[in-house]
Amino acid sequence: MWAGAGLGAVEVKALVVPTVFADFEDYWRPFLGGQGPAPAYTASLPEDRRRALRELLRTRLPTNTDGSIPLTARAWAVRGTTAS
């Protein structure tokens, strides 16, 4: 897309950040805020389905023996230059 817009020397890089949650409550709390796609979806669910989602996530997340949850956050960066 950047090259198609006329930019040159286009570079794409993954930005990877280790993210560790103290426990499941630390992970789950942002889902209750209602801001962003996942929290908005969670907030739209009836209470019984929200509880089911919560328990499904709890069983699927990698959890260390101390209860912490290590995940990796990833974003993509793109850089290009214009001709002067």
Q: Which residues contact 77 (CB under 8 A, 6 or more apart)?
A: 12, 13, 14, 15
Cα–Cα distance, 78 to 57 (Å, whole number):
32
Sign of the dihedral through C-alpha 30, 31, 33, 38: positive
Q: Is the pTM of this model over 0.85?
A: no
| Tens digits of residue pLDDT in 19-47 | 999 999 999 999 888 788 999 999 999 99
**pLDDT at residue number 84:** 65
| Domain-wise residue ranges, the chain | 3-81
